[in-house]
Structure 1
């Protein structure tokens, strides 16, 4: 098999994952605000809201305004999660709660790096393969990668909120490839989503690699 020029990777669910579950973290921080919620119910509600949400893409927004739109996108997800769980009325100040929650997920605290990641990244770098991230996460990815000591492994980071397109859209893969001046047939993309990562990559002519976490 011919060695790729570039290997792109998804971020959440591929490089790093959530400690426990999103529902558990929502529940823990809500408890600090006097709100007691069932973690499993919150996790189910969160997954439902994520699936129903429009992509986090802001194609007509000025670059300096993107972080605010990211914040508002996640605010809607979180509020709908607690509404679906039937406990939104318990909050005296949901806005302050959400601000703390949002900041928390921008740190390394709620995340863990999968055990096979560092050895794989190190091996590829030693072989001279360029590495990039293609993710539907938001701009907090930069602080998360830094906190998890992953940032320096990557030559490029391409995220949906900044390019106005989310995986599996061909546009986000095309932008990532252009950063490396790399034709699609010389690149791999590794991810945990069959639709967003595997099929998205294959649609543009890259080799898609599906990872099962």
Structure 2
């Protein structure tokens, strides 16, 4: 079975995150340039990772998550990036929460459908293993509904990557030996190092890398390159 990460691997936000936050901020009279928003967003993502956020809240199992935790965490991120007035916060937050739950505000990379078609034809079971919440389901259905994909979303699994329990729970649910599970994604720790520690196979997707460049074994510049390689192995 081959599982794929979601954001940065099979889908990307369109318009960009910075553009969406800029538009939402204007609802509350906040006028920030996209460069500032990108900088603050990167800070917020580091500061409010699920594990950091849960630790800050005094949770004994910081890698635990659910739909409520995800919403609260994203509220903290929006506050960090935009700092809207208290009386406008809910309006701004709901605008962004709903925006990123709409399939039309995401796009699949051009190579996703061709790659999945190759892998499916080669006999692989397919799935998605993502740190996301239930908003991911309609997005996947819109763009990849023609494929038989099992979705393993952190808010539903109950754990986030790279916690060992995330991969262990997925393996338990699919009932496939760990050495027959393969994860590919664009986060080196979450999608390569951590699953390998659990006995999975894994590959790193580096879309910024040129396909012809010399790269370490197990690193690919596109999903299509990966699909062709593994289906011929």
Structure 1 length-normalised TM:
0.84
User: Matched residue of 2:30: which SS?
Assistant: coil
Unpaired stretches in structure 2, ≥5 consecutive residues: 208-233
Residue 182 (structure 2) pairs with residue 188 (structure 1): yes
Counterparts of 1:154-193 in structure 2, within 5 Å, are 154-193=148-187
What is the root-mean-square deviation in Å for CA atoms of aligned residues?
A: 2.3
Give me the whole-angstrom Cα distance separating, in 2, the residues matched to 1:129 and 1:66. Answer: 29
Unpaired stretches in structure 1, ≥5 consecutive residues: 1-5
User: Matched residue of 1:139: which SS?
Assistant: coil
User: Matched residue of 1:93: which SS?
Assistant: helix
If asked which structure has higher relative contact order (CA below 8 Å, sep 6+), I would say 1
Give me the whole-angstrom Cα distance separating, in 1, the residues matched to 2:15 and 2:25. Answer: 16
User: Matched residue of 1:35: which SS?
Assistant: coil
**1:170 Cα deviation after fit:** 1.7
> What is aligned with 1:81?
81
Counterparts of 1:201-212 in structure 2, within 5 Å, are 201-212=195-206
Determine if contact 2:67/2:156 at 8 Å carries over to the other structure.
Answer: no
- The 1:67/1:169 distance shift into structure 2, 3 A limit, reads closer
Give me the whole-angstrom Cα distance separating, in 1, the residues matched to 2:148 and 2:30. Answer: 40
Once the two structures are overlaid, the 10-residue window that deviates more, 73-82 or 158-167, is 158-167
Q: Cα deviations across residues 20-50 of structure 1 (Å, max 9, x unaligned)?
A: 5311210023224432111111111111111
Residue 99 (structure 2) pairs with residue 104 (structure 1): yes
